[in-house]
Chain A
Amino acid sequence: MIQLRFSFALGVLAGAVAFAQGPPPGHFGGGDFEYMHAHMGAQKLVKGAPYSAQAVSQYTQTLADGSHIQRSTTSSVARDSEGRTRREETIGAIGALAASTASPKAIFIHDPVAGSSYVLDPASKTGHVSQPRNFTLSSDAASASEPSARTAHVRSNAQVKTEELGTQTMDGLTVQGKRITRTIAAGQIGNEHQLQVVTEVWYSQDLQTTVMSTTTDPRTGVSTYKLSNISRAEPDASLFQVPADYKLTQGGGPRSHVRQ
């Protein structure tokens, strides 16, 4: 009996230590991160330009041996005339980072009329309501809770060139293109030759949204974002409403079991 109690106590202690230290290496099953939950950030308010479309994000990385890693995420997006937006997606990757397991499908609804945002989990019919979270981007490490002074911000003094690419028609929309080329001089980040990071953005003035963008970075790979199957009809109003059988809580997240 005493031996049994000792074994139990040892197990509890080992579990507590493991929890405090975080998952061991390999815990993510080959992925780079584990999804916990999501919130909606601030949205650009556009009225009078409704649409719905499929948004495809692709990431291609070329490895040293010439082989490729490709990831693709498809989302359904919609916006009504009042500026309400809806996005339905599964987050399987963040750029070069692959999720250990695909996140549960999430529906993001932003309602500027009501001043609320909703993140819904269709599998459990739960969600949370909050105000959209505004943000700033600042290299003030302290205000971003940066954990180590050693991870210093190293924004380089790269040369940036912007070119206008004229207009094109994409999916029935007239879009204007812009290319931004950032040149990193040789030796600036330990690179033998100069590097060029090129971003092309094709923007629709009618929809006031980016229809296609591509970023080519020799260090990481090629990222592409494209809207397709674009419909400019007013989306169904029910897309921007939370079904009555969903249970909502305020703030937090569907999986906010976060220790602090």
Chain B
Amino acid sequence: MNENELKLLEGLRCLAADGPREAPSAVEQRLVGELRRQSRARRRNGWLALGMSGAIAAVLAATLWIRTEPVVQKPTMARSQTPAAVKTAPSPIANVTPAPERGAEVAINFYPLPDADELPPMESATIVRVQLPMSSLRLMGLPISEDRAAEFVQADMLLGQDGLARGVRFVE
């Protein structure tokens, strides 16, 4: 033990001999107050994190719900009458996710428009979903009552190769 260490030991012994010491009450109150503030902050941050997690989960769930294509086609008894897939060829496409469902094909029933029979035979069909006021359907020959004319509906229009509508079905 060198000289410096002996002096430090002697000083510590003198300090011990003076008896136990306490911090001033003002210091103690500030210390306790600070500890309580930090505790409250921790609890608040915990609730905030929980709330944020809940909000993120809700947004994700809503996004998934919106992006999911709802099933709107009402299958009828009529099955596919077009030729089935002849053979499987290498797909020329990229980024396809996932492969098209096979064997789940059912016919969609459309309500024939009044003059569809007089239009040229259909060789190819396009189904276009539109939103429109019921009154617009009068232009296609459908007798829409006045009390429903202002209502908006979503409808699928069955168009032929000439762009003329042969049938309609309502989504809502």
A258: chain B residues at CB < 8 Å are 69-70, 72, 129, 154, 171
A136 touches B110 (CB 8 A): yes
* Contact call B163/A95, Cβ cutoff below 8 A: yes
* B contact residues, total (Cβ < 8 Å): 91
Bound-state CA distance A246–B94 (Å) is: 7
Docked pose: A190 CA to B111 CA in angstroms: 23
Interface assignment of B47: CB less than 8 Å from any CB of chain A: no
In the docked arrangement, what's the CA distance between A132 and B107, Å?
Answer: 10
Interface positions, chain B 127-146, Cβ under 8 Å from A, are: 127-134, 136-137, 139-145
Q: Which residues of A contact B161 (CB under 8 A)?
A: 55, 77, 209-210, 225
Q: Check if A248 sits within 8 Å of B93, measured CB to CB.
A: yes
Contact with A along B143-172 (1 / 0, CB 8 A): 111001011111001110111111111111
Against B, the Cβ 8 Å flags (1 = close, 0 = not) of A72-96 are 0100010000000101000101111
A202 CB to nearest chain B CB (Å): 9
Given known A213-B120, A248-B95, contact A141–B111 (CB-CB < 8 A): yes
A250 and B97 form a contact (CB under 8 A): yes
B91 to A41, Cβ gap below 8 A?
Answer: no
Please determine whether A57 and B143 come into contact, CB atoms closer than 8 angstroms.
no
User: How many residue pairs, one in A and one in B, have C-beta atoms under 8 Å apart?
Assistant: 298
Instruction: Give the residues in chain B near A244, CB-CB below 8 Å.
Output: 93-95
A40 to B91, CA, bound (A): 18
Report which residue of B109, B140, B144, B167 has the largest number of chain A beta carbons within 10 angstroms of its beta carbon: B109
Contacting pair B162 A57 (CB below 8 A): yes
Tell yes or no: A17 within 8 A of B by CB: no
B interface with A by C-beta (< 8 Å): 66, 69-70, 72-74, 76, 78-89, 91-102, 104-112, 114-134, 136-137, 139-145, 148, 150-154, 157-159, 161-172
Q: With A22-B131, A36-B131, A136-B107 as given contacts, are A44 and B123 in contact (CB-CB < 8 Å)?
A: yes
Is the Cβ of A113 less than 8 Å from the Cβ of B108?
Answer: no
Give the residues in chain B near A139, CB-CB below 8 Å: 111-112
Given A43-B124, A136-B78, A250-B97, also A147-B172 (CB < 8 A): yes
Give the docked Cα–Cα distance between A68 and B74 (Å). Answer: 39
| Chain A residues closer than 8 Å to B89, beta-carbon distance | 113-114
How many Å from the CB of B158 to the closest CB on chain A? 6
Docked CA distance A228–B130 (Å): 29
Question: Closest chain B residue to A223 by CB distance?
Answer: B164
In whole Å, how far is B166's beta carbon from the nearest beta carbon of chain A? Answer: 6
Whether the pair B80, A253 counts as a contact (CB closer than 8 A) is no
Of B81, B102, B105, B166, the residue contacting A137 (CB under 8 A) is B166
Is A114 touching B164 in the complex (CB atoms < 8 A)? no
Q: Encode contact with B along A228-260: 1 for CB under 8 Å, 0 otherwise.
A: 000000000000111111111111110011101
Q: Are B100 and A40 in contact (CB under 8 A)?
A: no
Contacts of A160 in B (CB 8 A): 117-118
